[in-house]
């Protein structure tokens, strides 16, 4: 059976670093050549990084990306290189043509496409423009580029085993069985896909299932390369793979790491192409033997999520050029896990923990924080906020006290403590050129159980911002590890390696408390976290209504009135804290639907999710 | 000549307020009926408000919007009502049909369209689905809805003057001459358009020019209704209008206010329709005479911008249910203008000014602030931050002092002052249930000349966030009023009305200073504002490169090296402050391209605008 030797160059995405990306691409193409690969795949938009957002509106940026692509193309020899880049439509070889009739969903001409440039022997021979433009979840492709036309060129190479015709796709294109079938019917014996596919829990399984289904439905093998590395809230997890024409995975690269996987992919039977074919000619005249392709096993889910957080955190801090962080250590579970992630990302010398006891802090809080810092080997200082709090309280309470002696909403004084802590951390960070790491989790963020400009201060990405407090299992069986579960897993990993577990036992077991008022516990204000988290997940990710949420509690044995009251309280809190979430630092996405780019909500909004279920009459239509 | 009597019901957008919107729509339809209008137009998505963003992903929300639309439809009598709403594709009368072939730019089926429902006699007779989906600038339509098919139904009414066939469009549809020509060729004698078109300087002129050009090119009159009111960063400015088949404006409603304009629109000659026509039958059997339609003159540009800011600020604060604000008054021009806008929006009793002198505040700062407060008739208190600053400085400097006695980056101590002020304002606001109004302008925001979590604290929209410090004239002659220009205009308006000008003369004339270090002035760190503002505008709105910007300075007589240095410094500051802008409050959009929804940039980014112009070699292609 004829095979196509495909190299999957799983490289980092580095936004805006044309020179660095061009060097990495050139090197990967040369390495693939030394393996006598027929084709080398590199990540979608790998020349300029992805997503680059509105930088694509800037002519200089696009010109630089095109120039860098030409530079890599000039370095190509016999192996065909597929290079992801933005390209001005008018100058697009092979993938230009008129916009398909009836597809004008927007009057704005982009003049730009997201392409895979096809280069060999120092020349650009053509390009494939992405046809399906994801415009949902974290994706805004339709904002930036035009869709490629329907029938684009195929490419034929003469391998040592004979001629092979292949089709090129970009990312979303391969999620459509119909499109892969068209490419096969057009004459392709193999399909190669460039991707920049961001991580969430269970994503690799979804990817492989979609690509395998497309391969089976079209009877054609597919090679899929992904990017790696963190870019703002997104982490690209690698895991590049290839499936044969039966949809069986025959090669898989590492996750969360640079890799180069080379595989001899058995191609489908030759058919007379009905689409235009660009003849690239001979790739190699002989072939060295390959070692068996890697089939790296997927990581266990805690390992996977933890590694995603470490990767996203590390890449952000190093790429903005400030690989040092300061964070507040309260003795609680959230700051303990965040500090551990920061240390695993940047090393203990780059992390500074600060205990900031206030008037209502428990005695254990500083002790537990110090124990954590000692375990992690990081600097730890204690900077109380009590004097500052008393000063501001005296001055402001004096201004606010009414005739009855009341000083307004008590939450103002709780928030004051959190804001003096945030101010303290920001001052230390600004003075030393470090980033501040905030440590609030997704459960707290959802219900607004945090202080804007207080504990939410952060100039590094929030490593916990997309983690619920507790572990939840989705309906499809996917496990979504929470803060407690990840902390326990990290301790267990250390123990298994014969190291001291970083997170103190007391931190793992004591009741959650913000310690902003005497004897305060989270459970005074919120339902128990396991209940809260289940409601949040169904509401945020499955758009469950208030009625459905209350029904699920009743099915668990809750009193109907208590269930309705709890759901009402939770959804009202979620609605009322949109304005707070709008101003928090980015968080690293690990869930299907994270706060941030994934969920865009109006702030001024009369719609109440809490009462929606009862106020709606069904439409007549 | 036959006329179609069209009523333009220019109503507020109220996101999520289905009950309130339905009541307002029902009332407007009835009023139009009392004028014996044949057709009444209401705003795009008027039933649920616009933009509602990801609320459209929630089935309950869409069901409620559809139910409210049905409720308004049931109230219709003889006048044909056009109602803007989201609609589930499968249940769409008249505008369903297959998605046009080749238009699949996205694999995600939305199942939803943005429609104008056509109702009469208590019944829904059809609907037009928006065909062109703006997905640029502040718009994300392709994220939420599918495009309507190409040839949708036309509608025929029997007016007292005879039969008239008309076509329906939604917003972006009418910006395409080709689409309007198609509708005319299909058989329409008039075109009606539902809009939710947000304001920026010069927008009304653009709208009228585009619609007039389409009308002329197709030889068909067009009636255009717009929404009014503020929704988060957007302000809908009304100004609904109608043009005849020669593109002459024959009616124009008020700007920034609810209005109902009724006009007898001369229709184009009858042609045999080639598209399907829904026959709605008799509207009215007789017609009362109409007064001449209003032709409200556009506002002078300062008036227009100022009114936009007042409208956006007022609507946000009242819609979130917290129509009281606290703001810091520094004696400077920015806080003075912001306070004046807040008072014009909410009244003097709703605005609380706080002077917060620190160690480097000038003596005049509190005096000027107090004078402003007295002029505006608002509460004013002085809450020094000096003691709090000294306490935090003592504790933190102790921790930071190195062997040489240095205490790290000096900016940390400047920021500390700003953060103690932000904390003070947030405490007062939280205690009293008010919003905090931040007062930073667009020039400062662009170059990061503000303190994150300090002077940028704000839970109300920033009224100055889209205003440059100085007035700039665009190349097309559009004047973009700045902070100084608007302040002077507001004073002049007061003087012209025989009132005391609100903003003290000293505030208008003293040099700009943050007063965070001894003798500090803005001009120590930044180019003069007129230079800075011109560079920013060309860079942000026209994507001018560093080379082009430096060239423009040289053309003005600058030394080339000084020009390059200044441009380099400004662009470096803009690039380095993306992370700060990501966490600031929303600002009210008045420019073509505001920070926020309009400009979406990566944070971790190796691309430098400052050096872009010299590092790029031109592509070979």
CB A418 within 8 A of CB A408: no
For the cut 50, the answer to whether the pLDDT of residue B96 exceeds it is: yes
Across A441-449, average pLDDT: 98
CB B474 within 8 A of CB B455: no
B102 confidence band (pLDDT: 50, 70, 90): very low
Q: How many helices and strands, by DSSP H and E, does chain B display?
A: 19, 21
Q: Are residues B192 and B308 in the same domain?
A: no
- Interface contact B379, partner A, CB < 8 A: no
Query: Other CB atoms closer than 10 Å to residue B212's CB: what's the count?
Result: 18
Query: Other CB atoms closer than 10 Å to residue A424's CB: what's the count?
Result: 25
Consult the annotation and say whether B106 binds a ligand: no
- Which burial class, exposed, middle or buried, applies to A257 when counting CB atoms under 10 A from its CB (0-12, 13-18, 19+)? middle
A247: Cα separation from own chain's centroid: 26
Say which residues have a Cβ less than 8 Å from residue B481's Cβ, sequence separation at least 6.
B201, B301, B302, B305, B306, B467, B471, B489
Question: Which structure tokens are listed for A441?
Answer: 């989790």
Handedness of CA A20, A21, A25, A26 (dihedral sign): negative
Residues of B in contact with A618 (CB under 8 A): 63, 67
- From A241's Cα to the closest Cα of chain B, the distance in A is 22
pLDDT tens-digit map of B517-574? 988 888 888 999 999 999 999 999 999 999 999 999 999 999 999 999 999 999 999 9
Query: Other CB atoms closer than 10 Å to residue A560's CB: what's the count?
Result: 11
Q: Which of A49, A56, A69 has its CA nearest to residue A229?
A: A49
Q: What is the CATH number of the domain that holds B382?
A: 3.40.50.620
Which segment of B37-51, B136-150, B219-233, B324-338 scores lowest on mean pLDDT? B136-150
Q: Are residues B220 and B319 in the same domain?
A: no
Would residue A49 count as lying in a domain? yes
- Maximum Cα interatomic distance, chain A, rounded to a whole number of Å: 94
Across B376-384, average pLDDT: 98
Question: Which structure tokens are listed for A326?
Answer: 């300061």
**The pLDDT value given to residue B103:** 41
CA angle A226, A230, A234 (to 5 degrees): 85
Would residue A559 count as lying in a domain? yes
- Interface contact B509, partner A, CB < 8 A: no
Say which residues have a Cβ less than 8 Å from residue A230's Cβ, sequence separation at least 6.
A236, A311, A312, A313, A314, A315, A316, A461, A588, B604
Distance CA A243, CA A224 (A): 8
For the cut 50, the answer to whether the pLDDT of residue A614 exceeds it is: no
Average pLDDT, chain B: 94
CA-nearest residue of chain A to B396?
A428
For the cut 50, the answer to whether the pLDDT of residue B614 exceeds it is: no
Pairing of strands A472-473, A435-436: unpaired
pTM for this one?
0.96
Helix axes B333-346 and B301-319, enclosed angle (nearest 10): 70
Which of B104, B140, B233 is best to mutate for the A interface (most A CBs within 10 A)?
Answer: B104
Average pLDDT, chain A: 94
For the cut 70, the answer to whether the pLDDT of residue A315 exceeds it is: yes
Which segment of A106-120, A153-167, A557-571 scores lowest on mean pLDDT? A106-120
Q: Are residues B391 and B285 in the same domain?
A: no
Q: Are residues A251 and A331 in the same domain?
A: no
- Domain with B409, as residue range(s), is 302-524
**The pLDDT value given to residue A111:** 83
With an 8 Å Cβ cutoff, are A601 and B54 in contact? yes
For the cut 60, the answer to whether the pLDDT of residue A616 exceeds it is: no
Question: Which structure tokens are listed for B232?
Answer: 């988060």
Q: Which of B247, B170, B241 has its CA nearest to residue B214?
A: B247
CB A224 within 8 A of CB A248: no
B151 confidence band (pLDDT: 50, 70, 90): confident
Question: Which structure tokens are listed for B193?
Answer: 């358009």
**The pLDDT value given to residue A93:** 66
Among the partner-chain residues B16, B131, B411, the one whose CB lies closest to the CB of A430 is B411
Among the partner-chain residues B52, B423, B605, the one whose CB lies closest to the CB of A16 is B605
Would residue A105 count as lying in a domain? no
CB B345 within 8 A of CB B373: no
CB A360 within 8 A of CB A517: yes
**The pLDDT value given to residue A214:** 98
User: Between residues B519 and A595, which one has the greater pLDDT?
Assistant: A595
Question: Which structure tokens are listed for A29?
Answer: 């193409």
Q: Are residues B196 and B318 in the same domain?
A: no
Please, what's the b/e burial string for A72-89 (b: 16 or more CB within 10 A of its CB; e: otherwise)? bbebbebbbbbbbbbbbb
The runs of H, that is alpha helices, within A320-474 are 333-346, 363-376, 386-400, 411-432, 442-447
Q: Are residues A228 and A331 in the same domain?
A: no
Pairing of strands B435-436, A80-88: unpaired
pLDDT tens-digit map of A530-539? 999 999 999 9
Task: Give CA torsion, residues B388, B391, B394, B396, to 10 deg.
Answer: -70
B613 confidence band (pLDDT: 50, 70, 90): very low
For the cut 50, the answer to whether the pLDDT of residue A204 exceeds it is: yes
CB A322 within 8 A of CB A431: no
Among the partner-chain residues B384, B420, B585, the one whose CB lies closest to the CB of A583 is B585
User: For a pLDDT cut of 90, what percent of chain B falls above it?
Assistant: 88
Say which residues have a Cβ less than 8 Å from residue B18's Cβ, sequence separation at least 6.
A607, B47, B48, B64, B65, B67, B68
Using only C-alpha atoms, chain B has a radius of gyration, in whole angstroms, of: 27
Distance CA A85, CA A102 (A): 26
pLDDT tens-digit map of A254-264? 999 999 999 99
Catalytic residue IDs of B:
44, 130, 171
Across A198-210, average pLDDT: 96
pLDDT tens-digit map of B407-445? 999 999 999 999 999 999 999 999 999 999 999 999 999
Q: Are residues A496 and A595 in the same domain?
A: yes
Q: Which of B497, B524, B551 is the last residue of a domain?
A: B524
Would residue B225 count as lying in a domain? yes
With an 8 Å Cβ cutoff, are A16 and B423 in contact? no
Across A52-57, average pLDDT: 96
Q: Which of B254, B274, B298 is the last residue of a domain?
A: B298
Q: Are residues B379 and B334 in the same domain?
A: yes
CB B232 within 8 A of CB A604: yes
Say which residues have a Cβ less than 8 Å from residue B595's Cβ, sequence separation at least 6.
B442, B445, B446, B465, B466, B581, B587
Q: Are residues A75 and A216 in the same domain?
A: yes
Which segment of A233-247, B459-473, B514-528, B579-593 scores lowest on mean pLDDT? B514-528
Say which residues have a Cβ less than 8 Å from residue B333's Cβ, sequence separation at least 6.
B483, B484, B487, B503, B507, B508, B512
Q: Are residues A161 and A50 in the same domain?
A: yes
pLDDT tens-digit map of B77-90? 999 999 999 999 77
| Number of structural domains found in chain A | 2
Residues of B in contact with A592 (CB under 8 A): none
Q: Which of B280, B298, B316 is the last residue of a domain?
A: B298
**The pLDDT value given to residue A106:** 57
Tell me how far CA of residue B143 lies from CA of A235, A602, B67, B108, B135, in angstroms: 22, 15, 23, 9, 8
- From A592's Cα to the closest Cα of chain B, the distance in A is 15
Catalytic residue IDs of A:
44, 130, 171
CB A602 within 8 A of CB B54: no
Q: Are residues A314 and A370 in the same domain?
A: yes
Which of B88, B180, B619 is best to mutate for the A interface (most A CBs within 10 A)?
Answer: B619
Q: Are residues A258 and A339 in the same domain?
A: no
pLDDT tens-digit map of A61-109? 999 999 999 999 999 999 999 999 999 977 766 655 544 443 445 556 7
CB A10 within 8 A of CB A196: no
CB B163 within 8 A of CB B156: yes
User: For a pLDDT cut of 70, what percent of chain B falls above it?
Assistant: 95
pLDDT tens-digit map of B264-307? 999 999 999 999 999 999 999 999 999 999 999 999 999 999 99
Would residue B597 count as lying in a domain? no
Q: How many residues does chain A have?
A: 621
- Interface contact A427, partner B, CB < 8 A: yes
Residues of A in contact with B14 (CB under 8 A): 606
**The pLDDT value given to residue A94:** 63
A451 confidence band (pLDDT: 50, 70, 90): very high
Q: Which of A231, A434, A437, A433 has its CA nearest to residue A315?
A: A231
Consult the annotation and say whether A415 binds a ligand: yes
With an 8 Å Cβ cutoff, are A607 and B61 in contact? yes
Q: How many residues does chain B have?
A: 621
For the cut 60, the answer to whether the pLDDT of residue B104 exceeds it is: no
**The pLDDT value given to residue A305:** 98
Say which residues have a Cβ less than 8 Å from residue B243's Cβ, sequence separation at least 6.
B208, B211, B212, B215, B221, B222, B224, B249, B250
pLDDT tens-digit map of A534-592? 999 999 999 999 999 999 999 999 999 999 999 999 999 999 999 999 999 999 999 99
Would residue B357 count as lying in a domain? yes
Would residue B313 count as lying in a domain? yes
Q: Which of A156, A179, A205, A174 has its CA nearest to residue A38?
A: A156
CB A341 within 8 A of CB A309: yes
Would residue A252 count as lying in a domain? yes
**The pLDDT value given to residue B612:** 54
Q: What is the CATH number of the domain that holds B260?
A: 3.60.110.10
Consult the annotation and say whether A484 binds a ligand: no
**Three-class secondary structure of residue A491 per DSSP:** helix
CB A511 within 8 A of CB A521: yes
């Amino acid at each position: 059976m004829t095979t196509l030797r495909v190299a999957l160059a799983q490289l980092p995405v580095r936004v805006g670093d044309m020179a660095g990306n061009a060097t990495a691409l050139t090197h990967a193409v040369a390495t693939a050549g030394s393996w006598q690969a027929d084709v080398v795949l590199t990540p979608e938009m790998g020349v300029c990084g992805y997503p680059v957002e509105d930088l694509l509106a800037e002519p200089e940026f696009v010109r630089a990306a095109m120039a860098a692509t030409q530079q890599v193309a000039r370095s190509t020899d016999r192996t065909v290189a597929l290079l992801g880049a933005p390209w001005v439509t008018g100058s697009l070889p092979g993938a230009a043509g008129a916009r398909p009739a009836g597809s004008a969903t927007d009057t704005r001409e982009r003049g730009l496409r997201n392409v895979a440039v096809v280069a060999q022997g120092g020349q650009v021979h053509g390009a494939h423009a992405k046809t399906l433009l994801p415009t949902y979840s974290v994706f805004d492709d339709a904002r930036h580029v035009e869709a490629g036309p329907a029938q684009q060129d195929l490419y034929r190479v003469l391998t040592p085993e004979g001629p092979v015709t292949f089709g090129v796709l970009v990312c979303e294109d391969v999620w459509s069985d119909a499109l892969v079938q068209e490419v096969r019917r057009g004459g392709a014996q193999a399909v190669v896909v460039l991707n920049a596919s961001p991580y969430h829990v269970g994503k690799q399984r979804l990817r492989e299932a979609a690509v395998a289904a497309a391969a089976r439905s079209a009877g054609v093998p597919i090679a899929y390369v992904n990017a790696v590395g963190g870019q703002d809230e997104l982490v690209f997890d690698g895991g590049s793979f290839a499936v044969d024409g039966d949809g069986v995975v025959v090669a898989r690269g590492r996750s969360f790491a640079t890799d180069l996987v080379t595989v001899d992919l058995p191609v489908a039977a030759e058919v007379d192409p009905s689409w235009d074919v660009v003849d690239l000619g001979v790739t190699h005249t002989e072939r060295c033997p390959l070692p068996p392709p890697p089939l790296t096993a997927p990581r266990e889910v805690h390992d996977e999520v933890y590694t995603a957080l470490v990767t996203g955190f590390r890449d952000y801090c190093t790429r903005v050029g400030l690989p040092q962080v300061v964070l507040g250590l309260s003795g609680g579970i959230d700051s303990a896990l965040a500090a551990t992630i920061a240390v695993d990302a940047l090393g203990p010398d780059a992390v500074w923990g600060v205990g900031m006891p206030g008037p209502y802090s428990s005695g254990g809080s500083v002790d537990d924080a110090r124990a954590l810092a000692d375990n992690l080997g990081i600097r730890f200082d204690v900077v109380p906020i009590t004097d500052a709090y008393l000063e501001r309280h005296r001055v402001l309470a004096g201004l606010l006290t009414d005739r009855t002696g009341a000083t307004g909403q008590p939450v103002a004084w709780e928030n004051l403590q959190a804001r003096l802590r945030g101010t303290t951390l920001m001052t230390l960070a600004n003075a030393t050129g470090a980033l501040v790491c905030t440590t609030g989790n997704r459960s707290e963020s959802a219900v607004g159980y945090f202080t804007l400009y207080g504990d939410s201060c952060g100039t590094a990405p929030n490593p916990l911002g997309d983690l619920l407090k507790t572990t939840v299992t989705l309906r499809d069986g996917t496990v979504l590890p929470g803060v407690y579960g990840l902390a326990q897993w990290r301790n267990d990993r250390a123990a298994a390696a014969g190291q001291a577990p970083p997170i103190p036992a007391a931190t793992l077991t004591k009741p959650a408390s913000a310690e902003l008022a005497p004897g305060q516990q989270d459970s005074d204000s919120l339902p128990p976290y396991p209940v809260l988290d289940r409601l949040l997940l169904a509401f945020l990710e499955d758009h469950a209504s208030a009625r459905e949420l209350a029904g699920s509690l009743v099915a668990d044995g809750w009193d109907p009135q208590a269930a309705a009251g709890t759901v009402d309280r939770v959804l009202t809190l979620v609605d009322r804290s949109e304005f707070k979430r709008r101003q928090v630092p980015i968080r690293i996405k690990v869930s299907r639907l994270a706060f941030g780019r994934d969920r865009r909500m109006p702030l001024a909004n009369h719609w109440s999710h809490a009462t929606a279920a009862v106020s709606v009459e069904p439409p007549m239509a």
